[in-house]
Amino acid sequence: MRLDTILRVIAKIFIPFILMFGLYVQLHGDYGPGGGFQAGVIVAAGIILYAIIYGIAAAQRAVPPGLVEVMMPLGVAIFAGVGIAGFVTGRNFLDYSNLMHGDMVHGQHWGVFLVEIGVLVTVSSTMLAIFYAFAGRGRE
């Protein structure tokens, strides 16, 4: 019999809520505390908890290291891409005012939303990549 049954059951119950809370922090950042960085860390923490309880191999099946390594630059590219969209719509770099056909407030909302997604993608994947790199080494 496994001795960590309680941990495994509790983790299984908690991880969906942790990921959900990460999404809440991400999407509610306009109104309450939080944003892409905090949400990224919370999402990564949920997956790291899964890796600690169920083993690194199970976590890497759910979130493959290849995907994580693509996500790291992808988030920066999303952020910079939104910035360049500012150029294309006739404003400065990272000025979102014209993103939604001149509706400034609407454009700012979309700009902030997309930029925060970029932060989420890079931060969560970087935390996971560092964890994978550490955990994958094992004792010599």
Under the rule (CB under 8 A), what is the footprint of another protein? 25, 29-38, 41-42, 44-45, 48, 52, 69, 72-73, 75-76, 79-80, 83, 93-94, 96, 104-105, 108-109, 111-112, 115-116, 118-119, 122-123, 125-127, 129-131, 133-140
Cβ-proximal residues to 110 (8 Å cutoff; 6+ apart), any chain: 96, 99, 100
Distance CA 140, CA 137 (A): 8
Q: Are 26 and 34 within 8 A, CB to CB?
A: yes
* Closer of 5 and 32 to another protein (Cβ): 32
Distance CA 74, CA 88 (A): 20
Question: What is the b/e burial string over 24-60, where b = at least 16 CB atoms within 10 angstroms of the residue's CB?
Answer: ebbbebeeeebbbbbbbbbbbbbbbbbbebbebeebb
We find the least distance from the C-beta atom of residue 11 to another protein, in angstroms, to be 14
We find the least distance from the C-beta atom of residue 2 to another protein, in angstroms, to be 21
We find the least distance from the C-beta atom of residue 94 to another protein, in angstroms, to be 4
* Closer of 8 and 93 to another protein (Cβ): 93
We find the least distance from the C-beta atom of residue 1 to another protein, in angstroms, to be 25
